[in-house]
Structure 1
Amino acid sequence: MDKHLSRREFLRRAGILAATGAAAPMAFNLSLMGEAAAAAMPGDYKALVCVFLSGGNDHQNTLIPYDLANYNAYAAIRQSLAIPRAQLSALPNALSDGRQMALAPQLSGLSSLYTAGRLAVVANMGPLIQPTTKLQYQNRSVPLPPKLFSHNDQQSYWMSSMAEGADSGWGGRVGDLFLNSNASAALSCISVGGIGLYLSGKEARSFSVGVSGNPQLLWGSNYVFGPDFMTDLKTMMTNNKSNHLENEYVKVTQRGLNTSSKLDAVLKAAPALNTVFPWGNALADSLKMVAKLISVKGQLGNQRQVFMVQLSGFDLHDGLIAKHPVLLKMLNDALMAFDSALSELGLQDQVTTFTGSEFGRTLSSNGGGSDHGWASHHFVMGGAVAGGQIYGRVPMPVLGGSDDVGQGRHIPDLSVEQFAWPLAKWFGVADADRYLVLPTLARFDENVLNIMKV
């Protein structure tokens, strides 16, 4: 095997393996090959922010039929899960077939952004290997995403277009292409409570930051083990080794420590944001940190960044009618505060935020909740979004239809790749590089979603 490739593979795997270790999770999680010394391009900043709704968001109670005939059909199937129509307000711009839709009442802020043209809905999208019909699904005559309706497997496929065990996600592969545009390349892909796979590229690695910052090696450990512990551990981890591969590992660790210290200093010096984020909202805490990280882009010299945050709790097989509205209110309030912070920073047009979830839920009720589904509906937010529209097809509220594989589990019309491509293209990925980021994109209509203004 080529020695250069062996060394690169060692460093890549070292970063992944060390991230699971108890001794130094933060330092090793930084495992990037190096920081680019590229010159920044003033004013040319863009960021993608993935908000992952972990557990499978109930999209049926997120985007809801409003016209009377279809609402009645929805309510008859959902039974006790149905949101009362009196609580809903129709979105402007009916579907092409005349149906009216509404967002859940807890999403009133997002409804206002939709009306203002700064938020779009992408309907009936999810993991696919190739376009699939119900007959093909039933006959298993086309390849299907592995272990459909499984949380781990569908999370992996949503983020990477690969089965569980994948080593790169499409967010990280986007980041790979822009490492040389960032003076602090290790800060190209940043997770604030997100899932590392999405942000892992072939070269880029997910840099984890807590909601309060402090991206330091074993931050707080001196309070547990004594004031000299951190110094001794750092010395042990960064001393030169006699073995070549061990020494390369030391270099990775040292760069991680240096990047961590640099970011910590920059964040501490950053002016406080005037935007007030809601208290007691875990997603808002994460997005507040993302906003703060974006605010110091100039000090870091970065022009392209990909972020991921996560809101958990959506696996609601029971208690849905009580718990789901709380989660949607958290999503709404966090996104509205984040939007305000971007406005304060003058970056509303340069940051695009979108939701993800491993799958949607069944249209039918199981009595107290809904079960694992397939396709779902998602939001895209930002000044560069061609908002005020529902893109794609919203399935009719019926059971047993031509796209229903059981209990109102709808086959996606749109693949994750079709959703990801306009986002990546807006970010700056060239047409020639689209298959590096999205290897299976060629199996689909690549230009079906025109969700971005440019």
Structure 2
Amino acid sequence: MDNTLSRREFLRRAGMLAATGVAAPIAFNLSLMSEAAAATSPSDYKALVCVFLAGGNDHQNTVVPYDLQSYQAYANIRQTIATPRDRLLPLASLLSDGRQMALAPQLSGLATLFAAGRLGIVANMGPLAQPTTKAQYQNHTAVLPPKLFSHNDQQSYWMSSMAEGADSGWGGRVGDLFLSGNGNAALSCISIGGNGLYLSGQQARSFAVGVGGNPLLLWGSTNLFSPSYISELKALMSSNKNNYLEDEYVKVTQRGLNTSAQLDAALKAAPVLNTSFPANNSLADSLKMVAKLISTRGQLGNQRQVFMVQLAGFDMHDRLSSQHPILLKALNDALMAFDGALTELGLQDQVTTFTGSEFGRTLSSNGDGSDHGWASHHFVMGGAVAGGQIHGRVPLPVIGGADDVGQGRYIPDLSVEQLAWPLAKWFGVPESDRYLVLPTLAKFDENALKIMKPVP
């Protein structure tokens, strides 16, 4: 593709960015640098969907050792919170050393997708500042993510590669590169109950939408106010001001109102999905709305979108045996319904969904639960995924081993950046822009994780 932009095309993009509130020079630079990656065909749609398991998912009871020797070691350590072996769902794919793993009994749908080659597992991944060994950790010579094992800090580091207080996340920085290729750039990054940091870029901003389709504005989810009151409030919020800062705030507000109106009209005209989503499942509600939003891509002219949804409640220092299975079933049922909706839309190969969580949990039990860990196992779902495999190394279930920094807190083999890069590359981010999206990627083996199928 010829990357030389004509004056007319330059001005067209300037107008588009200005209309959506992203007309700063940085947006031009990012958009122009990614010209080769910009989507050009109406059918060339791709989306990334992050499903964040907030609180630190107990990966030890999600992807479980199954061969007799490994399972016995796991059960001896976990004791009261170990899942019975006869209830596990064994995976046919063996690890390189011959060990066998299984999924929790509540993940039967994901086990089916794994067997069909449409779900992959990324093993022993987590926030890293640099590749780290146990000796470096013990000798205090390793550069570590700040405030390791802290919820807020590790969530921030997972989403941004920066400490709490960061102003951009890698999902938003991916979105930055595609603003000019989307007909409605304000809807490039959409959060439905997720953390806004992950979807915030240098110019892209997280657009929050409720599960009912209403933008999360005061009047979006309530009938407490009369139409006349709402009309007057909107007029007040969008009227011109004499103060510069007030006037800029009004411009942002007006853009938000305009985008909300466009989105509302598109959702009303969207096709009705026949796929059934489970009731009383907050994650399913969020993913159902993601599917609806994706179905409006043609009306709104969006060809690249990044979404984030969240399922909370994974910080289980107690009641793990009774509560964790409930969350895993909610995850399984929601993802299966979402996969069905994408298949109905004919987009099962064009949307990649993946899980995230600030950290895993300790292998050891505290009696009724597990404590904050470090590395974790994650799922990546979609037709473009190199599924049916466990990518990466699964540590042996041993306390005090070469991977353990205490209580079965495993040091990650893979950093979050090493997952983010193949996802971003599949999405269309060119090699030349990888450090714009992932500034710390150069510290790691950039091609270690082959989670996506080769692009033809």
**TM-score for both structures, normalised by structure 2:** 0.90
d(CA) in 2 for partners of 1:158, 1:271: 35
What is the CA deviation profile of residues 8-35 of structure 1, one whole-angstrom value per residue up to 9, with x for unaligned ones?
xxxxxxxxxxxxxxxxxxxxxx984269
Contact 1:63 1:103 in 2 (8 A): yes
Label 1:284 to 1:221 Cα distance change in 2 as closer, same or farther (>3 A).
Answer: closer
d(CA) in 1 for partners of 2:370, 2:140: 25
Aligned to 2:35: none
d(CA) in 1 for partners of 2:398, 2:222: 59
Aligned to 2:59: 59
Q: CA deviation at 1:222?
A: 7.7
Contact 1:136 1:142 in 2 (8 A): yes
Q: CA deviation at 1:248?
A: 2.7
What is the CA deviation profile of residues 169-213 of structure 1, one whole-angstrom value per residue up to 9, with x for unaligned ones?
000000000000101000000001111000000000000000011
- Which residue identity lines up with residue 262 of structure 1 in the other structure? Q
Aligned to 1:410: 410
Aligned to 1:324: 324
* Structure 2: runs of 5+ lacking an equivalent: 1-18, 32-37
What is the CA deviation profile of residues 337-366 of structure 1, one whole-angstrom value per residue up to 9, with x for unaligned ones?
000000000000000000000000000000
Aligned to 1:81: 81
What is the CA deviation profile of residues 256-315 of structure 1, one whole-angstrom value per residue up to 9, with x for unaligned ones?
100001101111121210000001111000000000000110000000000000000000
d(CA) in 2 for partners of 1:266, 1:39: 21
SS at match of 1:352: strand
Residue 257 in structure 1 maps to residue 246 in structure 2: no
Aligned to 1:33: 22
d(CA) in 2 for partners of 1:275, 1:375: 35
Label 1:317 to 1:32 Cα distance change in 2 as closer, same or farther (>3 A).
Answer: farther
Q: CA deviation at 1:236?
A: 1.3
* Structure 1: runs of 5+ lacking an equivalent: 1-29
Aligned to 1:16: none
SS at match of 1:91: strand
d(CA) in 1 for partners of 2:317, 2:272: 41
Aligned to 1:304: 304
d(CA) in 2 for partners of 1:42, 1:378: 32
Aligned to 2:342: 342
Contact 1:122 1:392 in 2 (8 A): yes
Equivalent positions of 1:177-256 (< 5 A) are: 177-215=177-215, 217-219=217-219, 223-256=223-256
Contact 1:190 1:199 in 2 (8 A): yes
- Which residue identity lines up with residue 210 of structure 2 in the other structure? G
Q: CA deviation at 1:40?
A: 5.4
Q: CA deviation at 1:235?
A: 1.2
SS at match of 2:198: helix
Residue 147 in structure 1 maps to residue 136 in structure 2: no
Moved more, 197-206 or 40-49: 40-49
What is the CA deviation profile of residues 28-61 of structure 1, one whole-angstrom value per residue up to 9, with x for unaligned ones?
xx98426999995221100000000000000000
Q: CA deviation at 1:231?
A: 1.4
d(CA) in 2 for partners of 1:245, 1:84: 61
Q: CA deviation at 1:218?
A: 2.0
Q: CA deviation at 1:324?
A: 0.3
What is the CA deviation profile of residues 390-409 of structure 1, one whole-angstrom value per residue up to 9, with x for unaligned ones?
00100101100011000000
d(CA) in 2 for partners of 1:221, 1:452: 38
Q: CA deviation at 1:233?
A: 1.5
Moved more, 308-317 or 80-89: 80-89
d(CA) in 1 for partners of 2:20, 2:127: 29
Q: CA deviation at 1:88?
A: 1.6
Label 1:119 to 1:39 Cα distance change in 2 as closer, same or farther (>3 A).
Answer: closer
Label 1:289 to 1:222 Cα distance change in 2 as closer, same or farther (>3 A).
Answer: closer
SS at match of 1:199: coil
Aligned to 1:390: 390
Contact 1:40 1:182 in 2 (8 A): no
Label 1:139 to 1:89 Cα distance change in 2 as closer, same or farther (>3 A).
Answer: same
**TM-score for both structures, normalised by structure 1:** 0.91
Q: CA deviation at 1:246?
A: 3.0
d(CA) in 1 for partners of 2:217, 2:388: 44
Contact 1:169 1:198 in 2 (8 A): yes
Residue identity over aligned pairs, in percent, reads: 76
d(CA) in 1 for partners of 2:178, 2:101: 39
What is the CA deviation profile of residues 88-126 of structure 1, one whole-angstrom value per residue up to 9, with x for unaligned ones?
232012000000000101001100100100000000000
d(CA) in 2 for partners of 1:219, 1:452: 41
d(CA) in 2 for partners of 1:264, 1:78: 49
Moved more, 226-235 or 364-373: 226-235
Aligned to 2:128: 128
d(CA) in 2 for partners of 1:241, 1:324: 52
SS at match of 2:258: helix
d(CA) in 1 for partners of 2:218, 2:257: 11
d(CA) in 1 for partners of 2:160, 2:280: 31
Residue 426 in structure 1 maps to residue 426 in structure 2: yes
SS at match of 1:53: strand
- Which residue identity lines up with residue 33 of structure 1 in the other structure? V
Q: CA deviation at 1:378?
A: 0.2
